[in-house]
């Protein structure tokens, strides 16, 4: 079963890449420019991670030495539904074509080439014992099956579909130098490591369906919510942030406002605040439709401030008078039970990670220098 699911991801990714590569092979994309535009705000200028939302390092030597091409392509193309990592592939409503995804994969590798394929070795550990190991040693950072902690959500179905047992084992044994993930070799007995890998594998679930893409161009949505309503009266923290409680109250009272989803459209298609319009942080042409007449405009993301912050800055640059960021972000909105419109079969939302991360990652080390 698990092998079949993993194979399905492989086939989809390869099929997408295979189909598009010949058409776009002409101009090699500028991977650094793509990274700066789309990824740096969370993964950091030197790929060290933790610039926002506890996004993991993409530069730790053990990550680079074990993440296969397919692992990286799948993470970037499909994202990790239910976390801040959106799907960036055009196939799911993101901005990147397969050639650009591949350019980013090479960029993350730092020119080191594909790592050797890890010999597959399924864990024969004991799931129940592994659950105890996990609760004692891992849960404080990685959270539970249903709740993300401060570190990568290991129960995420997209993650488990692309991370083999060999990949998981190696990460546990060697850790991720330069991050809080220590090497557990010598601290856990080898059978305990096998047990915790077996436990992680037992958390794998079927993948959520890729969202159905709207026709292109998408039919225009009404931009202003409740055009006849009275304006809200927000008090902004630090002149920028409107609390979820205040925005939810204004929403319930049918006040006049515009709500902007600043995430990649792939995330918007999966789940959004009903009535919000999609204006991704990297393509703000949609702002041209927003009336500049004093109507309140509230932007949100999951991060919870970086993507929405870019939209807010652009609105203010354009002279919009009443603008705010949804302070705690979309996950808090959703987990508090405020209205959310979700595509069929989408994942429940992992709870938001705490931020900022309470550590300073050491500078990136090149794995092959």
Using CB under 6 A as the criterion, which residues of the chain lie in contact with ligand HEC when the complex forms?
Answer: 38-39, 41-43, 49, 52-58, 60, 63, 72, 75-76, 80, 83-85, 88, 104, 137-138, 140-142, 148, 151-154, 156, 159, 168, 171-172, 176, 179-181, 184, 196, 303, 307
Nearest distance, CB of residue 41 and ligand HEC, angstroms:
6
- Min. distance of Cβ 262 from ligand HEC in angstroms? 10
In contact, 87 and 78? CB cutoff 8 Å: yes
| Closest distance of CB 68 from ligand HEC, Å | 11
Question: Cβ closer to ligand HEC: 90 or 142?
Answer: 142
Between 53 and 194, whose beta carbon lies closer to ligand HEC? 53
Q: How far is the CB of 227 from ligand HEC (least distance, A)?
A: 31
3-state SS of the chain? CHHHHHHHHHHHHHHHHHHHHHHHCCCCCCHHHHHHHHCHHHHCCCCCCCCCCCCCCCCCHHHHHHCCHHHHHHHHHHCCCCCCCCCCEHHHCCCECHHHHHHHHHHHHCCCCCCCCCCCCCCCCCHHHHHHHHHHHCHHHHECCCCECCCCCCCCHHHHHHCCHHHHHHHHHHCCCCCCCCCCECCECHHHHHHHHHHHHHCCCCCCCCCCCCCCCCCCCCCCECCCCCCCCCCCECCCEECHHHHHHHHHCCCCEEEEECCCHHHHHHEECCCCEECCCCCHHHHHHCCCCCCEEEEECCCCCHHHHHHHHHHHHCCCCCEEEECCCHHHHHHCCCCCEECCCCCCCCCCCCCCCCCCCCCCCCCCC
157 versus 232: smaller Cβ distance to ligand HEC? 157
Which residue number, 143 or 232, has a Cβ lying nearer to ligand HEC? 143
In the bound complex, what is the minimum distance in angstroms from residue 62's beta carbon to ligand HEC? Answer: 8
CB burial readout 303-319, b (16+ within 10 A) else e: bbbbbbbbbbbbbeeee
Q: Which is nearer to ligand HEC, 57 or 295 (CB)?
A: 57
Q: How far is the CB of 6 from ligand HEC (least distance, A)?
A: 15
Q: Which is nearer to ligand HEC, 109 or 338 (CB)?
A: 109
Nearest approach, Cβ of residue 66 and ligand HEC (Å): 8
Query: Tokens in use for 252?
Result: 């319930």
Q: Which is nearer to ligand HEC, 223 or 262 (CB)?
A: 262
Looking at beta carbons only, is 85 or 279 nearer to ligand HEC? 85
Q: How far is the CB of 188 from ligand HEC (least distance, A)?
A: 6
């Amino acid at each position: 079963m698990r092998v079949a699911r993993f194979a399905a991801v492989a086939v989809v990714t390869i099929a997408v890449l295979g189909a598009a590569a010949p058409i776009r092979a002409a101009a090699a994309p500028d991977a650094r420019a793509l990274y700066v535009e789309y990824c740096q705000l969370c993964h950091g200028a030197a790929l060290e991670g933790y610039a926002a939302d506890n996004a993991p390092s993409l530069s730790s030597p053990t990550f680079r030495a074990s993440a296969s091409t397919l692992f990286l392509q799948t993470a970037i193309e499909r994202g990790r539904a239910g976390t801040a990592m959106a799907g960036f592939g055009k196939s799911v409503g993101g901005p990147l074509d397969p050639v650009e995804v591949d350019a980013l994969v090479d960029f993350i590798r730092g020119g080191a080439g594909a790592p050797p394929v890890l010999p597959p070795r399924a864990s024969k550990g004991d799931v129940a014992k592994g659950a105890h190991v996990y609760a004692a040693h891992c849960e404080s950072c990685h959270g539970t099956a249903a709740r993300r902690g401060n570190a990568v959500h290991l129960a995420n179905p997209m993650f488990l579909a692309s991370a083999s047992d060999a990949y998981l084992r190696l990460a546990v044994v060697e850790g991720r130098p330069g991050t809080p993930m220590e090497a557990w070799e010598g601290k856990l007995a080898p059978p305990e490591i096998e047990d915790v890998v077996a436990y992680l594998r037992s958390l794998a679930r079927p993948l959520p369906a890729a969202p159905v893409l709207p026709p292109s161009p998408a039919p225009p949505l009404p931009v202003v919510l409740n055009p006849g309503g009275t304006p809200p009266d927000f008090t902004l923290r630090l002149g920028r942030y409107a609390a979820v409680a205040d925005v939810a109250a204004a929403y319930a009272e049918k006040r006049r406002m515009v709500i902007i989803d600043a995430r990649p459209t792939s995330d918007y298609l999966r789940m959004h605040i009903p009535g919000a319009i999609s204006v991704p942080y990297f393509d703000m042409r949609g702002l041209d439709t927003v009336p500049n007449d004093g109507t309140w405009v509230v932007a949100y993301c999951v991060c919870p401030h970086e993507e929405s912050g870019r939209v807010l800055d652009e609105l203010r640059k354009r002279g919009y008078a009443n603008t705010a960021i949804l302070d705690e972000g979309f996950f808090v909105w959703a987990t508090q039970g405020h209205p959310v419109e979700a595509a069929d079969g989408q994942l429940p939302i992992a709870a938001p990670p705490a931020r900022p991360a309470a550590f300073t990652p050491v500078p990136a080390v090149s794995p092959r220098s």
